[in-house]
Amino acid sequence: MAYYNTGKRGEKKDDESAGNRYANPDRSVALQKARIFNDTPINVSKCIPVATEILYMLNQGEQLTAKEATNFFFAITKLFQSPNPTLRRLVFLGIKELCSVAEDVLIVTSSLMKDMTGKEESFRAPAIRALCRIVDPSMLQSIERYMKQAIVDKSPSVASAALYSSLQLARGPGIEIVKRWGNEIQEATNSDNPMVQYHALGLLYLIRKSDRSAVNKLIAKFTTGRYLKSPLAVCLLIQIVAKIIQEESTLGITTASHFDFLETCLRHKNEMVVYEGAHALVNLRHSTGRDLGPAISVLQLFCSSAKPTIRYTAVRTLSQVAMTHPAAVTACNMDLENLITDSNRSIATLAITTLLKTGNESNVDRLMKQITSFMSDISDEFKVVVVQAVKALCLKFPKKHSLMMTYLATMLREEGGYEFKKALVDTLITIVEDNVDAKETGLTHLCEFIEDCEHVNLAVRILALLGREGPKTRHPSKYIRYIYNRVILENASVRAAAVTAMAKFGAFNEELRPNIMVLLKRCMMDQDDEVRDRATYYFYVLDSHQAALYNQFILTPLQVSIVSLERALQTYLTTPAEEPFDLRSVPIAAEPLTVEEKRPRSEAREERAQTGAGGGGAKDSAKATTLLDSYVEQFKNIPQIAALGPLFKSSAPIQLTESETEYVVTCIKHTFAQDIVFQFDCINTLNDQILENVFVNVESQDPAFVINGTIHCPKLECNVKGTTYTRICLPKDDSGATGTFGCTLKFLVKDCDPATGEVDSEEGYEDEYVLEDIEVTLADHMQRTIVPNFGSAWEEFGEENENTGTYALNQYKKLQDAVDNFVTFFGMQPLDRTEKVPDDKNSHLLVMSGVFRGNFNVLVRCKFILAENGVAMQLQVRSDDPDINQAIIESM
């Protein structure tokens, strides 16, 4: 073999080939050698190395053409003549490797079927595997009988091979045929062999997973008793149970036995199972709010294991918990401390970041020093984790910001990928927006960063931040230089962002305005359309010298979500209308485009950094902003509701029943200009009943509310969500905006067969079910909006549009509690961070803005004073309409 690899790369080569007799494979030479397969009788000792060489060549990543692959394929099939087990096994391997590229592979079907059912035990399993690789669905029927037999074969290797090959078939169009083998698969789960059990359970779940009651039966069967011998199978069962718990929790159902099973798994003798159980419990915490204690203490034990992987799993899971529930992890702090010096860098990094999240102010310095010492050794994924941890710390210990800021600035100057830099910038932006003391240093660091920033995306975000926060600082002028530099040096999108940022400085600061206007004038010569347009627009707005115009057209951000705006514009264009488009017909964004919206998103990113590539977390925040749109879409198809005009606000779902009752009902309140619509989502959990003509009877004590029509749900089958609506007309004079509504679910019951769902008799009987009351509060009539300059907006309304009231609130002992409560009560947007009460203050001023149903702007000032026997509050309301002021005061 040495003839084609000598003298090419000198000594090193010789050395290498000494250890590797297959070095430097070549397809044409290999094909030549494969001729030996044609000899009769077959020379086993010569054929084995040649077959191995072909496999090795494929393994090295050699790409064959279809023709070459076919040639090899047919050469190899000649070896079916040989009874030698090793050679034959290599043939099966070769078929599997080549069948995806080669043509006419079906030709070996009959040989494989012979081996699959033959006497030679050791050929049967590999033959099944190879066969399942090459069959197409049309052929599957012809081998169906043999597959069924193989699944229940007494030889575990044959049964396993049939099961996991079927799993592969069931991923494709073969699923319908595999579903017919249910009985055999069920029987295989009773096998004594642990691996057969594992594969059978997996396949059984796959063919039943779309049927929730079948999955529940499967769980009930396997969770009782020590039925499963294989730890792998138990792990799989844990995953199945966790999945069903999550699915059911979205429907409002919880099954205690499922949790009991997960908790018993924590006491399993196999570590793999214990970890899977703990992991499942920890991941389920959001949907269920169960106590994490048992799972955490298991992980704590893992921290001191001798095996690195066990320590790794523990610290990784703990760090995930620490992101949302740092308090739960503090019990493990001592164990984590010991892991800081772990020889495995991944473990040490995770331990440090977890401690940063849970630790106290005193050890932060030490941890930060430790981590910077090996920052250059760790991968970008972990760097992102570190940055996230630092961010959490800054929010937790605002006083440490100067130290943190130094670390972040150093990291910002270091090498790193986009994700890493983005995490850093996100963190700095959060700190700047959150912490008044850190604002100026943070902005300076960011200014320096954009001087040399290759990521357009980040530069644009930082410029937007400068425009928002810069004007409010003590020396706004120093930022102008950085911003204008961008206009000179960068590409069009950055220049456009820079122009907008400058305009905000001009609008906010009287003394800077002339200079800004000079700069904007220069930008009006820009070669890019967008930059020129923006500069011109801002220049003339500033040139008008009217504060109201600045406020409205430069400082106030867009109050509606982009998605809703796009949808509204599309509708407007398709329906010809006389009147111009009215921006007020677009639903106001539930979450304004500022800090509040960014938080969930960066958390989602944190999640992703932890779980690597997986993670649909980012989708969640996108979902929140488009929730309102999805309701709008939903109502389009219901003419009665569509007639009520644009949707103003929708509440979060409210549970009207316990989650484990026969009927589960949740309610969403939709507010329109003159009406409220209650949307009741009902689930019938009884499988022996079908409900018909379902609706909710709503009653109110207050005659001002008129219940005006319901939309019934015609039929409610078991575990299928049905929806019914009730419309309430609101009093015209806005006076009584709040009230309580009693609700009763009414329906016609028909008994049915639990298995088939067929109705026993057409005769049903009327029944009803009392639900909890619904409260309509002030927040249901109010949308949050941002007013960037509260002071000037407050003055614009003037004193004549003001109503006031004074209240003694004795139920509160702390100012923060009272403030929190009023923010939720009003459902308005707190401004200028007044929702946070600084420590050790005896009085506080809360300012909020919002839009009242019917598009009336409302501003609120609440003065809180901490008295001896509670909190006293003075409330001032200003709005476009005195009736609304009155309504708000009255609702108190």
Partner 1 sequence: MDFPAMEPNMYTVKAMLIMDSDGNRLIAKYYDDTFTTSKEQKGFEKSLFAKTSKASGEIILLDGLTCLYKSNVDLFFYVIGGSSVNELMLVQVLTCLYESVQKVLGKSFEKKVFMDNLDSIFLIVDEIVDNGIIVELDSSAVTQRAAIRTDDQQSPMGEQTVASVLLAAKEQLKWSLLK
Stretch 485-514 residues interacting with partner 1 (CB under 8 A): none
Cβ-based nearer residue to partner 1, 236 or 498: 236
Does 603 bind partner 1 (CB under 8 A)? Our answer is yes
557 binds partner 1 (CB under 8 A): no
Of 500-508, 525-533, 616-624, 883-891, the segment contacting partner 1 by CB under 8 A is: 616-624
Assess 236 for contact with partner 1 (CB under 8 A).
yes
Report the nearest approach of partner 1 to the CB of residue 404 (Å).
Answer: 25
CA-only gyration radius of the chain, Å: 35
- Which residues fall within 8 angstroms of residue 58, CB to CB, at 6 or more apart? 64, 97, 98
Q: Does 57 sit near partner 1 (CB under 8 A)? A: no
Please count the residues of this chain forming the interface with partner 1, following the rule CB under 8 A: 90
Please report how close the Cβ of residue 530 comes to partner 1 at its closest, in angstroms. 35
Report in angstroms how near the CB of residue 784 gets to partner 1 at its nearest.
Answer: 20
Alpha carbons 596 and 812: distance in angstroms, whole number: 26
- Check residue 202 for interaction with partner 1 (CB under 8 A): yes
Strands (E), 785-881: 802-809, 829-830, 843-852, 856-867, 870-879
Strands 713-716 and 802-809: unpaired
Residue labelled with tokens 């090793």:
86
**According to the binding rule CB under 8 A, does residue 307 interact with partner 1?**
yes
Residues in contact with partner 1, shown as a per-residue x/- string from 312 to 331 under the rule CB under 8 A:
xx------------------
Binding mask 253-282 for partner 1 (x = CB under 8 A): ------------------xx--xx--x---
Cβ 55 to partner 1 shortest distance, Å: 5
Tokens matching residue 773: 């009351």
The reply to whether 283 sits near partner 1 by the rule CB under 8 A is yes
Of positions 40, 63, 575, 756, contacts partner 1 by CB under 8 A: 63
For the segment 644-703, give every residue that binds partner 1 (CB under 8 A).
none
Which of 493/719 has CB closer to partner 1? 719
**Binding residues among 74-103 for partner 1 as defined by CB under 8 A:** 83-86, 89-90, 93, 96
Q: Is 61 in the site for partner 1 (CB under 8 A)?
A: yes
The 3-class SS string of 459-473 reads: HHHHHHHHHHHHHHC
CB of 882 to partner 1, least distance (A): 41
556 contacts: CB under 8 Å, gap ≥ 6: 786, 787, 788
Binding mask 335-374 for partner 1 (x = CB under 8 A): -------xxxxxx---------------------------
Out of 27, 33, 199, 784, the residue judged to bind partner 1 by CB under 8 A: 199
Choice between 235 and 463, CB closer to partner 1: 235
Site for partner 1 in 124-183 (CB under 8 A): 125-126, 129, 157, 160-161, 164-165, 167-168
Residue 381 in contact with partner 1, rule: CB under 8 A: yes
Judge contact between 369 and 343, C-beta under 8 A: no
Residue 60 in contact with partner 1, rule: CB under 8 A: yes
Residue 620, amino acid: D
Q: Exposure of 683 by Cβ count < 10 A (0-12 exposed, 13-18 middle, 19+ buried)?
A: buried
Closest CA to 30 of 4, 12, 8, 9: 4
> Under 8 Å CB-to-CB from 652, ≥6 apart: which residues?
668
Give whichever of 237 and 786 is closer to partner 1, judged by the CB atom: 237
- Closer residue to partner 1 in complex, CB, 284/542: 284
HSE toward the beta carbon, residue 201, CA cutoff 13 A: 29
Residue linked to tokens 């006497």: 119
Nearer to partner 1, 244 or 460 (CB): 244
Contacts of 62 (CB under 8 A, 6+ apart): 25, 27
Q: Which of residues 402-421 bind partner 1 (CB under 8 A)?
A: none
Residues 621 and 604 sit within 8 Å (Cβ to Cβ): yes
Tell whether residue 224 is a contact of partner 1 (CB under 8 A).
no
What amino acid occupies position 222? F
In the block, residue with structure tokens 């090996």: 374
Cβ(47)–Cβ(33) below 8 Å:
no
